[in-house]
């Protein structure tokens, strides 16, 4: 019940494409859903986050779609660029960021 | 402002040894969390500290311990190292811990621990 399931494991898109990464959770006590981007040798960096009372949030080229009834959320990257090639993690937390649970990650490669 | 800093960057130990990893949070941040990231996997929650008290613990054995100091920096200790402890250890800080709302975590670059 504490798991966050993320798919796909890897993704290859052409420059300008719109990669979509999906996540699903079970525990309805989660109330904060961040997405992180991680480059090799670096720590994860927050991209965008959403709370369950909002169905969509956009920040720049990144959009989160949130379906509370299905307990699913997804990340869309508009006009993807080679510099977006990285590993993306979805996560879920509750009670002030307590015990953030991460998905397994999606390795994205954007072809030039 | 400086981000979250961790030391050392890399560390090589042998089985059975003990290791101490250090973390300095972003100035003004009072909460520190520790995560273990095995290659190819997502970070796994180990501990969260706020105001020098443990506020959360993940599913890790008692060989793992941590503490937070009055200046909000933190140490993670791992005793009796096993080969499976080889991983990237990440520290994250957040401005505050509150039961009323959630907070963004800011990650450091990590300490790469190799156990031989």
pLDDT in tens, A2-37: 689 999 999 999 999 999 999 999 999 888 899 999
Nearest CA in chain A to B89: A43
pLDDT score at B100: 46
Radius of gyration, CA atoms only, chain B = 14
Between CA B18 and CA B107 the distance in angstroms is 24
Q: State whether B103 and A96 contact (CB < 8 Å).
A: yes
Contacts of A53 in chain B (CB under 8 A): none
Of B40, B102, B107, Cβ closest to residue A93: B102
Between CA A42 and CA A37 the distance in angstroms is 10
Band (pLDDT 50/70/90 cuts) for residue B50 is confident
- Sign of the CA dihedral with B112 first, then B94, B5, and A59 last: positive
Q: Which of A3, A23, A44, A93 to mutate to test the interface with B (most CBs of B within 10 A)?
A: A44
Of A6, A41, A99, Cβ closest to residue B56: A99
pLDDT score at B2: 80
Alpha-carbon distances of B116 from A14, B21, B96, B110, rounded to whole Å: 41, 17, 37, 19
pLDDT score at B94: 86
Contacts of B26 in chain A (CB under 8 A): none
Confirm if A38 and A86 have CB atoms less than 8 A apart. Answer: yes
Burial call A7-41: b when 16+ CB within 10 Å, e when fewer = eeeebebeeeeebbbbbbbeeeebbbbbbbbbeee
Confirm if A39 and B109 have CB atoms less than 8 A apart. Answer: no
Contacts of B56 in chain A (CB under 8 A): 98-99
């Amino acid at each position: 019940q504490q798991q966050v399931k993320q798919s796909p494991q890897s993704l290859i898109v052409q420059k300008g494409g719109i990669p979509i990464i999906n996540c699903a959770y079970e525990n309805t006590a989660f109330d904060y859903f961040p997405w992180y981007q991680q480059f090799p040798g670096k720590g994860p960096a927050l991209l965008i986050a959403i709370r369950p009372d909002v169905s969509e949030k956009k920040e720049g080229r990144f959009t989160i779609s949130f379906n509370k009834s299905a307990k699913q959320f997804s990340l869309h990257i508009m006009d993807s660029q080679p510099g977006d090639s990285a590993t993306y993690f979805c996560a879920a937390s509750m009670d002030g960021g307590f015990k953030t649970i991460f998905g397994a990650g999606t390795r994205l490669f954007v072809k030039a | 402002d400086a981000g979250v800093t961790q030391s050392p960057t890399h560390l090589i130990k042998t089985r059975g040894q003990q290791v101490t990893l250090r973390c300095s949070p972003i100035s003004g941040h009072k909460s520190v969390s520790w995560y273990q990231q095995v290659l190819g996997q997502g970070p796994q929650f180990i501990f969260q500290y706020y105001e020098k008290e443990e506020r959360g613990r993940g599913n890790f054995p008692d060989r793992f311990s941590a503490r937070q100091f009055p200046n909000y920096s933190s140490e993670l200790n791992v005793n009796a190292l096993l080969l499976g402890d080889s991983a990237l250890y990440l520290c994250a800080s957040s401005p505050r811990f509150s039961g009323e709302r959630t907070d963004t975590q800011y990650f450091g670059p990590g300490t790469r621990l190799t156990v031989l």
